[in-house]
C-alpha cells in the first residue's frame, strides 16, 4: 500500500491498541501509523515524523477525545521527561497491555499457538519503587542542574524538581548535590561541545536497609574539594558511601572505575532474608520489592529438592543463585563482570552460604569448563541482558541437556525467539510464563519462564 501521508503532515487518528515499546497503533485507510504519546481509545491530532514502506510514525500534538482509560499524571514533569511515559494510562490497562505484548511475542515470534501464560503479577508500589537513579547535569541560568533527558531528545536534559520513582531521601540527595555544585560554581558538561565538568550523579539505595551510595561522575581533572562534597552528603544520615568516577570520553556512561571518597566501598540490600553487598557498578534489580517476587517465582520454577546442581548464568551479584542455594546441592554462577562476581562471592560469605561458587567469564565460553568441573546441571537459571541469549550461548547452554531451564527475561521479543530455538532445535517445551511488572508506567516487562526438556525418545516421536 502506498503511504497516504508525508513527513510533516498533521492528521486525525483514532488509536486502537499499543505496540511493543509503548506507541499507540492507529490506521489511516488501512495504513498503519505508530503514534507516540497516544493511548488506546484516544482520538488525536498527530504530526507525521517518518514514513516507511509499510507504516508511518507520528507524535500526538493534541488529544481531541481522550480514551476512557486516560488518567491525570501526577508528576509535574510528565510528558516532557523521557521516563514514566504511561503515568496517564490507568494502571490496570497497563498490566493488560504488557501481558498482551508477552502473549503476542510468544505467538508471533515464538510460534506457540496457545502460550502457557500465567496472570501478570502487578507491582506492589506504583511509585517510589526504584533503588537506583542516574541523573545528568545540565547548565541553566541558576547554575548546574540535575535531571533526565527530555522525551525523544538525547541531546537535551530536563532539570527536575522531584522524581516520583525515588524516595524523599533520594530526592534530597539530588537536591544537596545540585546546591553544592552551584555553591562551588562548577559547570555542567556540554555533550555537544564536550566542554564543562559535571556529567552525572548516580544514587543507589538499599530499600530494606536504608543505606545509600552516591557516585559523582565528572570530566577529567580534580576541580572540586572532595572533603566538602563528603561533608555535604554526610548531612544525610542514610548516605554510607561516596564515590567519584572520571569519564574522559564523549560517551555518556556511568559504569566506570571509581575512587572511594568516604565511607564503605559498598552498601547492603536485603532480599528474601539475604544480605547483598552492592558496589557502584554491580548489577542489582532496580525494584527491590519486585525483585523479591521475581526471585521467589524463579525459586518456585526451579522445583529444587536439595539434590540438584544448579547453574546460575549471567548471575550478576549472585542474587538468584543465592536465593536458590538453601534448596540445592550446589550452585555455580557465571558472570562476565568481575566486580559483580566479587560481590557475589562476598554475598555468599556474608550469608554463610558454602554451597555456591561464582566465576568471572563469558557464558558462551565458560560452560564446557564449568561442566567438567561441577558435573552436568539439573537446573539452569539464566537471566540474560535485553538482547537475549547470543547464538553460541544458547546452543551451548541447551547442549548441557538440563531437565529444567528457568529463564528470567526482560524482553519478550528476544525471549520468544530463544524459546522457539530451544523447542525446535533442542526439544525444550515452555511449561509456563509469568509476567512480572517491575517497572510501572514504562513499557518494560519481566517474565519468569519454566522450560522442560522432553526425553530423547519423546523427541524422536
What angle do the packed helices 168-183 and 226-234 form, to 10 degrees?
150
Q: Please give the Cα distance from 317 to 320 (Å, whole number).
A: 9
Percent of the chain at pLDDT above 90?
86
Cβ atoms within 10 Å, residue 321: 31
Q: What is the pLDDT of residue 22?
A: 85
Cβ atoms within 10 Å, residue 284: 22
Q: What is the mean pLDDT of residues 382-401?
A: 92
State the pLDDT confidence band at 460, using cuts at 50, 70 and 90: very low
Residue 97 pLDDT > 80, yes or no? yes
Q: What is the pLDDT of residue 83?
A: 86
Residue 33 pLDDT > 60, yes or no? yes
Q: How far is CA 50 from CA 9, 35, 58, 343, 382, in A?
A: 10, 11, 7, 45, 37
State the pLDDT confidence band at 19, using cuts at 50, 70 and 90: confident
Element of type H or E holding 424: helix 412-426
Report the Cα 87 to chain-centroid distance in Å.
Answer: 18
Cβ atoms within 10 Å, residue 452: 15
309-313 and 379-382: which strand pairing? parallel
Burial of 406 from C-beta contacts in 10 A (0-12 / 13-18 / 19+)? buried
- Return phi, psi of residue 344, to 5°: -60, -45
Q: What is the mean pLDDT of residues 326-330?
A: 97
Q: What is the pLDDT of residue 107?
A: 97
State the pLDDT confidence band at 393, using cuts at 50, 70 and 90: very high
Residue 92 pLDDT > 60, yes or no? yes
CB-CB contact of 420 with 110 (8 Å): yes
Q: Please give the Cα distance from 431 to 203 (Å, whole number).
A: 39
Element of type H or E holding 92: helix 91-108
Question: Can you identify the CATH homologous superfamily of domain 98-124+287-460?
Answer: Vaccinia Virus protein VP39 (3.40.50.150)
Active site residue 410: yes
- Residue-wise pLDDT tens digits, 151-172: 877 778 999 999 999 999 999 9
- Residue-wise pLDDT tens digits, 109-120: 999 999 999 999
Residue 461 pLDDT > 70, yes or no? no
Q: Please give the Cα distance from 13 to 28 (Å, whole number).
A: 7
Q: What is the pLDDT of residue 294?
A: 97
Nearest to 215 by CA among 227, 199, 231, 228: 199
Q: What is the pLDDT of residue 20?
A: 80
Backbone CA torsion sign across 244, 246, 250, 254: negative
State which CATH number among 3.40.50.300, 2.40.50.1070, 3.30.1550.10, 3.30.2130.30 fits the domain covering 132-271: 2.40.50.1070
Report the Cα 178 to chain-centroid distance in Å.
Answer: 26
Could you give the 3-state DSSP secondary structure of residue 15? Answer: strand
Q: Please give the Cα distance from 220 to 241 (Å, whole number).
A: 21
Q: What is the mean pLDDT of residues 283-287?
A: 91
- Residue-wise pLDDT tens digits, 333-387: 999 988 889 989 999 999 999 999 999 999 989 999 999 999 999 999 999 988 8
pTM exceeds cut of 0.85: yes
Residue 455 pLDDT > 70, yes or no? no
Give residue 428's region: left, alpha or beta (phi > 0; psi -120 to 50): beta
Q: Please give the Cα distance from 126 to 123 (Å, whole number).
A: 6
- Residue-wise pLDDT tens digits, 189-235: 999 899 999 999 999 999 999 999 999 999 999 999 999 999 999 99
Fold for 10-65, please state it: OB fold (Dihydrolipoamide Acetyltransferase, E2P) (2.40.50)
- Return phi, psi of residue 118, to 5°: -80, 160
Q: Out of 75, 315, 410, 433, which one is annotated catalytic?
A: 410
Q: Please give the Cα distance from 438 to 285 (Å, whole number).
A: 9
Nearest to 158 by CA among 74, 86, 79: 79
The residues spanned by each domain of the chain are 10-65, 98-124+287-460, 132-271
Same fold: 10-65 with 132-271: yes
Amino acid at each position: 500500500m502506498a503511504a497516504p501521508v508525508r513527513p510533516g503532515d498533521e492528521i486525525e487518528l483514532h488509536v486502537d491498541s499499543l505496540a511493543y515499546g509503548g506507541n499507540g497503533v492507529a490506521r489511516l485507510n488501512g495504513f498503519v501509523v505508530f503514534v507516540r504519546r497516544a493511548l488506546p481509545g484516544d482520538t488525536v491530532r498527530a504530526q507525521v515524523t517518518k514514513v516507511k514502506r509499510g507504516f508511518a510514525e507520528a507524535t500526538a500534538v493534541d488529544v481531541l477525545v481522550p480514551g476512557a482509560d486516560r488518567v491525570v499524571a501526577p508528576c509535574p514533569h510528565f510528558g516532557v521527561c523521557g521516563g514514566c511515559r504511561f503515568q496517564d494510562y490507568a494502571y490496570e490497562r497497563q498490566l493488560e497491555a504488557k501481558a498482551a505484548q508477552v502473549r503476542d511475542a510468544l505467538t508471533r515470534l515464538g510460534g506457540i499457538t496457545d502460550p502457557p501464560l500465567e496472570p501478570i503479577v502487578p507491582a506492589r508500589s506504583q511509585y517510589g519503587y526504584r533503588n537506583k537513579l542516574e541523573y545528568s547535569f545540565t547548565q541553566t541560568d541558576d547554575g548546574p542542574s540535575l535531571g533526565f533527558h527530555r522525551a525523544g531528545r538525547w541531546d537535551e536534559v530536563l532539570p527536575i524538581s522531584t522524581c516520583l520513582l525515588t524516595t524523599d531521601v533520594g530526592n534530597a540527595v539530588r537536591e544537596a548535590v545540585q546546591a553544592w555544585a552551584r555553591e562551588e560554581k562548577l559547570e555542567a558538561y556540554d555533550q555537544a561541545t564536550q566542554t564543562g565538568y559535571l556529567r552525572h550523579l548516580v544514587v543507589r539505595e538499599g530499600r530494606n536497609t536504608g543505606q545509600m551510595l552516591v557516585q559523582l561522575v565528572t570530566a577529567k581533572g580534580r576541580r572540586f574539594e572532595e572533603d566538602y562534597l563528603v561533608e555535604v552528603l554526610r548531612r544525610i544520615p542514610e548516605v554510607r558511601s561516596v564515590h567519584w568516577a572520571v569519564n574522559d570520553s564523549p560517551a555518556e556512561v556511568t559504569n566506570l572505575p571509581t575512587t572511594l571518597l568516604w565511607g564503605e566501598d559498598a552498601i547492603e540490600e536485603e532480599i528474601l532474608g539475604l544480605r547483598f553487598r552492592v558496589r557502584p557498578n554491580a548489577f542489582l534489580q532496580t525494584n527491590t520489592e519486585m525483585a523479591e517476587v521475581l526471585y521467589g517465582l524463579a525459586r518456585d520454577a526451579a522445583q529444587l529438592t536439595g539434590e540438584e546442581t544448579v547453574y546460575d548464568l549471567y548471575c550478576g551479584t549472585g542474587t538468584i543463585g543465592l536465593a536458590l542455594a538453601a534448596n540445592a546441592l550446589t550452585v555455580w554462577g557465571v558472570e562476565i563482570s568481575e566486580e559483580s562476581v566479587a560481590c557475589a562471592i562476598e554475598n555468599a560469605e556474608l550469608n554463610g552460604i558454602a554451597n555456591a561458587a561464582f566465576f568471572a567469564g563469558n557464558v558462551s565460553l565458560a560452560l564446557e569448563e564449568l561442566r567438567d568441573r561441577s558435573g552436568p546441571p539439573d537446573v539452569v537459571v539464566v537471566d540474560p541482558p535485553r538482547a537475549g541469549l547470543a547464538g553460541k550461548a544458547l546452543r551451548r547452554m541447551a547442549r548441557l541437556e538440563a531437565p529444567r531451564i528457568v529463564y528470567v527475561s526482560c524482553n519478550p521479543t528476544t525471549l520468544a525467539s530463544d524459546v522457539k530455538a530451544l523447542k525446535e532445535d533442542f526439544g525444550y517445551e515452555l511449561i509456563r510464563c509469568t509476567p512480572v511488572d517491575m517497572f510501572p508506567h514504562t513499557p518494560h516487562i519481566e517474565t519468569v519462564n519454566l522450560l522442560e526438556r522432553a526425553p530423547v525418545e519423546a523427541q524422536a516421536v
